[in-house]
Amino acid sequence: MNKKEIVKRKKKRVLHYYANENTFSKVNVDIPEEFKNKIVCGDSVEVLKQLPDNCIDLVLTSPPYNFGKEYNEYDDNSTNSDYFDKLFEILSETTRVVKYGGRIIINVMPLYSDFIPTHHIITNWFIQQKWIWRDEIIWEKNQRNCAYSCWGSYRSSSSPFMKHTQEFIEVYAKGNIKHDIPNHKEQDDMQKLEFSEWVKNGVWSMPGEAKMKEYGHPAMFPEGLAYRAIKLFSGRGDTVLDIFNGCGTTTKVAKENGRNYLGIDIDQKYCDTAQKRVDNTQVKEFVLSE
């Protein structure tokens, strides 16, 4: 047996060993018309229950971090057990509605002050559900973190603290790392230079959202992050869902780039803002460069 055959056999044997016994249906369907290109105010679990299995191509979302942020309707200061119980209840329904081969992308930051590795806990949950851990991207915000006045045990090994200016973007795939796009030449819309820039390493360097005060929301990722994630992991005509849509960055960028969208949030004010953003957004004409 030559080296190439050995490597091929090894990959086949170990690839996604924790996800091989999944029972996901491979029958994908379209999202119902009544939910296509909509902003829906309500509890994500209850809204998702109205969707059929396997109808969403991509989920891009950022759940509340349980940091004590001041949202309008949501209490961001739950016990850790309550926080994860609710999050996984929502993600269970989300798992059901994502297509076979579809992806979920979660932007999250660990709760460093309480030593809660949120991104690892979420990844462990997805692995237990037989999803494939697809990738981890570090979002480097290049912002000086002024929240701390000290570094724990200053100049001592007793209990030093790190300052963090980065967040994590975790990518998971349902059943298959490949997402089938029927007419990929027409639907894939990444330019050559975009693709080369985005995949050359696992660090996306960009500042945070500068208009949070304008939108009245305490925690938003920037449109540039949504643009990269949506174009890299979906095609034109795909349906993109945000289960914590907030003021609608995901839905706005999805529409702008020729995707269908569904945004769900429990806060009516945020939903109103998200609706205004998509209403004021035009679909960009796309011409693929050589």
Instruction: Provide the domain count of the chain.
Output: 1
Percentage of residues of the chain with pLDDT beyond 90: 62
Query: Is 244 among the domain residues?
Result: yes
Range of the domain at 90: 26-146+163-279
> CATH code at 194?
3.40.50.150
* Section 46-62 average pLDDT: 98
Query: Is 153 among the domain residues?
Result: no
Query: Is 125 among the domain residues?
Result: yes
Query: Is 13 among the domain residues?
Result: no
pTM over 0.85: yes
What spatial distance separates the first Cα and last Cα of the chain, rounded to whole Å? Answer: 40
**CB 7 within 8 Å of CB 233:** no
Query: Is 287 among the domain residues?
Result: no
Query: Is 290 among the domain residues?
Result: no
Reply yes or no on whether the pLDDT at 219 is more than 60: yes
Q: How many angstroms separate the CA atoms of 231 and 56, rounded?
A: 15
Q: What is the pLDDT of residues 243-252, one digit of tens each?
A: 999 999 999 9
DSSP strand pairing (98-108 vs 132-140): unpaired
Q: How many angstroms separate the CA atoms of 52 and 42, rounded?
A: 18
* Section 37-55 average pLDDT: 98
Note the pLDDT of residue 106: 98
Range of 55-59, 204-208, 211-215 with top mean pLDDT: 55-59
Q: What is the pLDDT of residues 146-198, one digit of tens each?
A: 555 556 677 778 877 777 889 999 999 999 998 876 666 667 888 888 889 99
The residue written with tokens 């999803």 in the block is 131
Query: Is 158 among the domain residues?
Result: no
Query: Is 185 among the domain residues?
Result: yes
Reply yes or no on whether the pLDDT at 225 is more than 60: yes
288 Cβ contact list (under 8 Å, min separation 6): 189, 191
